[in-house]
């Protein structure tokens, strides 16, 4: 008779139950549009390049019907370029950018902010005055140089569209 002795546990069944299930993070894709509100007035005559201003998310960002970024999340925008209108009729210039929203202490980067505010140029009016006055006395010819173009003003409470700059992952 033959007996086979094996060390204890070699033939014991391994625990067949799987480990904890890792939940797959949900991803809000880059370029998802968001609507923001500019909380401080900005303008070509009052804003300075590189200055920052507060913004707020107007509508929540949803994924599969669930709120991922709540309405009211605050963040920051930046003045990229500001130039006052000129005395020769040139309009004011203002370029603003939405930079980020704060989501649970994490800065979610934004890009591609779009406003519909533009300064109005008075250059056509200046050219008309210059042409009309060319045949008159030189003093009248100088009137066009004293026409000031319009400033760009973005009032507090103005809405703008922006996009998420990168994918944003959230745990389920």
Q: Specify the CATH number for 26-119+152-170; select among 2.40.128.260, 2.40.50.140, 3.40.50.10800, 3.90.1150.10.
A: 2.40.128.260
Complete DSSP assignment for 108-170? EEEEEEE----PPP-HHHHHHHHHHHTTS-HHHHGGGGGPPPPPPEE-TT-EEEEEESS-EEE
Query: d(Cα 94, Cα 2) in Å, to the nearest integer?
Result: 94
Domain boundaries, the chain: 26-119+152-170
> For residue 134, is pLDDT > 50?
no
Least confident of 54-63, 83-92, 94-103: 83-92
69 or 16, greater pLDDT: 69
pLDDT for the residue 5? 55
Computed from CA positions of residues 58, 62, 67, 68, in that sequence, does the dihedral angle turn out positive or negative? negative
The model carries a pTM of: 0.70
pLDDT in tens, 32-80: 999 999 999 999 999 999 999 999 999 999 999 999 999 999 999 999 9
Are 165 and 24 within 8 A, CB to CB?
no
């Amino acid at each position: 008779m033959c007996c086979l002795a094996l060390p204890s546990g070699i033939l014991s069944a391994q625990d067949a139950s799987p480990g904890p299930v890792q939940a797959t993070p949900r991803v809000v894709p880059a370029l998802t549009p968001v609507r923001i509100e500019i909380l401080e007035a900005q303008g070509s005559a009052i804003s300075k390049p590189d200055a920052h201003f507060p913004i707020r998310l107007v509508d929540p960002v949803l994924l599969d019907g669930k709120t991922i970024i709540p309405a009211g999340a605050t963040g920051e925008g930046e003045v990229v370029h500001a130039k006052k209108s000129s005395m020769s009729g040139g309009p004011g210039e203002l370029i603003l950018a939405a930079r980020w929203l704060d989501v649970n202490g994490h800065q979610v980067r934004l890009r591609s902010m779009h406003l519909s505010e533009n300064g109005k140029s008075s250059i056509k009016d200046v050219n008309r005055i210059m042409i009309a006055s060319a045949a008159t006395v030189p003093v009248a010819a100088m009137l066009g140089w004293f026409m000031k173009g319009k400033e760009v003003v973005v009032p507090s409470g103005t809405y703008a569209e922006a996009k998420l700059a990168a994918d944003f992952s959230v745990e389920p």
